[in-house]
Amino acid sequence: MGDTKQCPKCKETKSVEEFSKNRSKKDGLSYHCKSCVKKYYKDNREKRLEYAKQYRQENREKKRESDKQYQQENRERIAENKKQYRQENRERLLEYQKRHYQENREHYKQYRQENKERLLEYRKRYYQENKERILEHRKQYYEENKDYYAEISRRRHALKRSAIPDHLLNCEVERQRLVDIYALRRIISEATGVEHHVDHMWPLSKGGPHWSGNLQIIPAKKNVSKRDSVDEGLVAVIQSALDEDVERYKRHGKDGSIRY
């Protein structure tokens, strides 16, 4: 049997593994067992939070100075820990940032308006101090998100023509569908060795909608030779499908997004 120790709180003799390490104690172990410590923290949570809040208020300047000194002495280690944490929790952090922005959009908008000049000056200074790193990051981001940028380019063109259906303007589901179509186009081009384009079956120049139901992936040569020709029967089919999509939105999409 391994080493044991008695906890003065619960009066039980337990394995030393049940006690936390504490160098300040003679035996190198905490005074109470982990279970008793955990129970104490749970039972006194509100009291400890109140005490911590009061301590911060009474020692604000002292703590601020202590934190500043610690950060200066451990800048590299802190930066490395933050980098590692972001890498290990990238998806969770992105999801949290997105959700927080959606829930506080008006607050962000008001803050930007009230601090417009200060933010502009900060961005300008930050860009000058980190120009090479920013340009390298932008280049890398573009290479990893070409499909997204391709969709943005076509979306901008469609907005100028007012070709995006009203019920899809702020629809994240539809936006992701479009990005996926451009991603599929890239995959097909790489797999076949033949350049492919995303084509509007009902051309925007002829009043067609920028909508996933109006897109097809075809070889680039065929798309160029097709120009803006369109079959009237196909137009009727696409318009009918779009009308059904609008009705589906009216029935289910009350918050600005489509639910299928």
As a whole number of angstroms, the distance between CA 176 and CA 158 comes to 16
Task: Establish if 50 belongs to a structural domain.
Answer: no
Q: Is residue 121 part of a domain?
A: no
Q: How many CB atoms lie within 10 A of CB 105?
A: 10
pLDDT digits (tens, 9 = 90+) for 85-112: 999 999 999 999 999 999 999 999 999 9
**CA 69/CA 66 separation, integer angstroms:** 5
Which of 209, 205, 204, 203 has the alpha carbon at shortest distance from 242?
209
Number of domains in the chain: 1
Q: Report yes or no on 235 lying in a domain.
A: yes
3-class DSSP assignment, residue 200 = strand
In a domain, 100, yes or no: no
Distance CA 181, CA 187 (A): 10
Question: Could you give the CA distance from residue 128 to residue 136 in angstroms, rounded to a whole number?
Answer: 14
Q: Is 50 exceeded by the pLDDT of residue 260?
A: no
Distance CA 232, CA 92 (A): 48
**CA–CA gap between residue 13 and residue 154 (Å, rounded):** 71
> Average per-residue pLDDT in the chain?
89
- What are the two backbone dihedrals, phi and then psi, of residue 6, each rounded to the nearest 5 degrees? -95, 135
What does the alpha-carbon distance between residue 154 and residue 215 come to, in Å, rounded to a whole number? 12
Residue 27 pLDDT: 81
Cβ atoms 85, 79 nearer than 8 A: no
User: Which structural domain, as residue segments, surrounds residue 151?
Assistant: 144-252
Q: pLDDT confidence of 31, banded at 50, 70, 90?
A: confident
Assigned domain for 209 exists: yes
Rounded to two decimals, the pTM is 0.54
Q: How far apart are CA 95 and CA 123, in angstroms?
A: 24
Q: Examine the pLDDT at 127 and tell me if it is beyond 90.
A: yes
What pLDDT is stored for residue 257 in this prediction? 45
Torsion angle (degrees, nearest 10) of CA 141, 145, 146, 150: -120
* Residue 186 lies inside a defined structural domain of this protein: yes
Is 150:157 a contact under the CB 8 Å cutoff? Answer: no
133 belongs to a structural domain: no
- CB count within 10 Å of CB 170 equals 11
Answer whether residue 194 is part of any domain: yes
